Amino acid sequence: MKRIRVYYANICDHKGKPVFSTKLYGSSNQAAAVALELIDKIPPAMTFDIRFQEVTAKEIAELLNGVQHFFS
């Protein structure tokens, strides 16, 4: 079964420790744009890194139908 990548950003403090994760996005560019906005609005935030998670179409369908919560 084909796996689909979804992207999110970890917002990091001045020590580089992740303190917040964004919701999931379809591209790394979307996740980066949201991360940059958050860094501008939250002064202690300094950097971000982009991560991805691979899911199947079946998992996404189940999530949309409310069967299970896969992105916790």
State mean pLDDT over 56-67. 78
Q: How high is the pLDDT of residue 11?
A: 95
pTM: 0.76
Beta strands in the chain, from DSSP E residues, in sequence order: 3-12, 18-21, 47-56
Mind listing the pLDDT tens digit for each residue in 23-42? 989 899 999 999 999 999 88
pLDDT for residue 22 is more than 80: yes
CA distance 17 to 20: 9
